[in-house]
């Protein structure tokens, strides 16, 4: 089979029983039927088609491992692990369809799902899954990314560089996309022009470096005008030293603390405006290129925040 469903692994990690009942880490919170859940997309096909350096297929396993030993916050929530959708070779479209269906099913059982990528081709499946779960809803897409990922599918089909063009093609009239943290030199003028033509909201990395709050008005507007928020985080939005283990490291990048603040702000605003953040994904983690596991840990800190809020 070119696409397989892999059951969740056993979560293990450090235990500190001598510190009493509050010495809890995330691996101790994993259980079936929780309100929150994680689902992996083990896939290299999108990055390979995008001519990037492969390795994202190992992302879900590395992210789980980095999550396991993070401490649980006060009033921690349990979460379920739904296992992986694993793609062999170039079976990208079949993998995305399987993932979309798994997401649709998961969203009927869990109030918030965090998908562990995979390259950014994950996003096409994520959006499709959310769309299948809520066919009529208005969905706002918040992408934290150095790249617009608005390239048009070529002869080989979609890739990790095309998800938002593919999402738009599903329903051009309802496309509502905000890209936060893009780097000017990492996007061709063709993509910048396309973003403009398609009404894409843009906040540049330099704007966030000058003012960490620069994206808040655009994020608030996006959340206010939609029924659901879909948050997709490309780890390569952060600086190369914070996120070396990605398919395409950033020369400049947005500071990690700023990305954390933006994620918190999006979570808080979606709660206060009653626009649920039902689905998030973290993509482009490429463990083979990581150093000391720092990229996996960076991604895990963001995943923890989304799972535990």
Count of residues touching Mn ion (by CB under 5 A): 5
- As to burial, measured by CB atoms within 10 angstroms (0-12 exposed, 13-18 middle, 19+ buried), residue 206 is middle
Of residues 44, 81, 205, 234, which one binds Mn ion by CB under 5 A? Answer: 234
Q: How far is CA 92 from CA 16, 48, 182, 293, in A?
A: 42, 10, 25, 27
Contacts for 231 with CB less than 8 Å, ≥ 6 apart: 142, 144, 263, 266, 277, 279, 280, 281, 306
Taking the complex as a whole, how short is the minimal distance between the CB of residue 30 and Mn ion, in angstroms? 28
Which residues, in sequence order, are CB contacts of 289 under 8 Å at separation 6+?
53, 55, 244, 245, 246, 249, 295
Verify binding: residue 281, Mn ion, rule CB under 5 A: no
Q: Are 160 and 248 in contact (CB under 8 A)?
A: no
Q: Does 147 bind Mn ion (CB under 5 A)?
A: yes
Q: Which is nearer to Mn ion, 149 or 176 (CB)?
A: 149
User: With respect to Mn ion, which residue has the nearer C-beta, 187 or 275?
Assistant: 187
Kindly report whether the peptide bond that precedes residue 118 is cis, defined as omega within 30 degrees of 0: yes
Give yes or no for residue 151 binding Mn ion (CB under 5 A): no
CB of 149 to Mn ion, least distance (A): 4
44 binding Mn ion? (CB under 5 A): no
| Cβ nearer to Mn ion, comparing 229 with 250 | 250
Q: Taking CB under 5 A as the rule, does residue 145 contact Mn ion?
A: yes
Binding residue (CB under 5 A) for Mn ion from 120, 131, 168, 194: 120
Question: Which of 58, 84, 121, 149 forms a contact with Mn ion (CB under 5 A)?
Answer: 149
Can you point out the beta strands (E) in 169-272?
Answer: 177-182, 201-204, 228-234
Q: How far is the CB of 121 from Mn ion (least distance, A)?
A: 9
Q: Please identify, among the stretches 31-39, 149-157, 207-215, 267-275, the one whose residues bind Mn ion according to the rule CB under 5 A.
A: 149-157
Rg of the chain in Å (alpha carbons): 18
Residues that bind Mn ion (CB under 5 A): 120, 145, 147, 149, 234
């Amino acid at each position: 089979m070119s696409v397989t469903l892999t059951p969740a692994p056993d979560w293990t990690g450090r235990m500190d029983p001598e510190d009493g009942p509050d010495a809890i880490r995330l691996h101790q919170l994993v259980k079936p039927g929780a309100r929150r859940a994680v689902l992996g997309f083990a896939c290299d096909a999108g990055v390979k088609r995008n001519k990037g350096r492969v390795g994202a297929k190992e992302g879900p396993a590395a992210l789980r491992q980095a999550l396991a030993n993070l401490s649980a916050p006060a009033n921690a929530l349990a979460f379920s692990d739904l296992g992986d959708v694993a793609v062999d070779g170039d079976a990208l479209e079949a993998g995305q369809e399987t993932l979309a269906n798994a997401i649709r099913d998961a969203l009927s059982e869990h109030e918030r799902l965090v998908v562990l990528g995979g390259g950014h081709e994950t996003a096409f499946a994520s959006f499709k899954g959310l769309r299948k779960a809520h066919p009529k809803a208005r969905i706002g897409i918040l992408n934290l990314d150095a790249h617009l990922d608005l390239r048009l599918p070529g002869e080989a089909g979609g890739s990790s560089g095309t998800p938002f063009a593919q999402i738009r093609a599903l329903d051009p009239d309802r496309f509502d996309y905000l890209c936060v943290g893009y780097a000017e030199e990492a996007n061709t003028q063709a993509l910048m022009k396309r973003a403009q033509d398609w009404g894409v909201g843009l906040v540049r990395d330099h704007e966030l470096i000058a003012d960490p709050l620069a994206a808040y008005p655009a994020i608030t507007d996006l959340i206010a005008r939609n029924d659901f928020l879909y948050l997709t985080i490309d780890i390569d939005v952060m600086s190369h030293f914070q996120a070396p283990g990605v398919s395409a490291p950033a020369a400049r990048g947005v500071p990690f603390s700023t990305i954390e603040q933006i994620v918190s702000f999006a979570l808080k605003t979606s709660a206060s405006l009653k626009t649920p953040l039902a689905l998030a994904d973290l993509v482009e983690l490429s463990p083979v290129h990581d150093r000391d596991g720092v990229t996996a840990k960076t991604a895990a800190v963001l995943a923890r925040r989304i799972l535990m809020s």
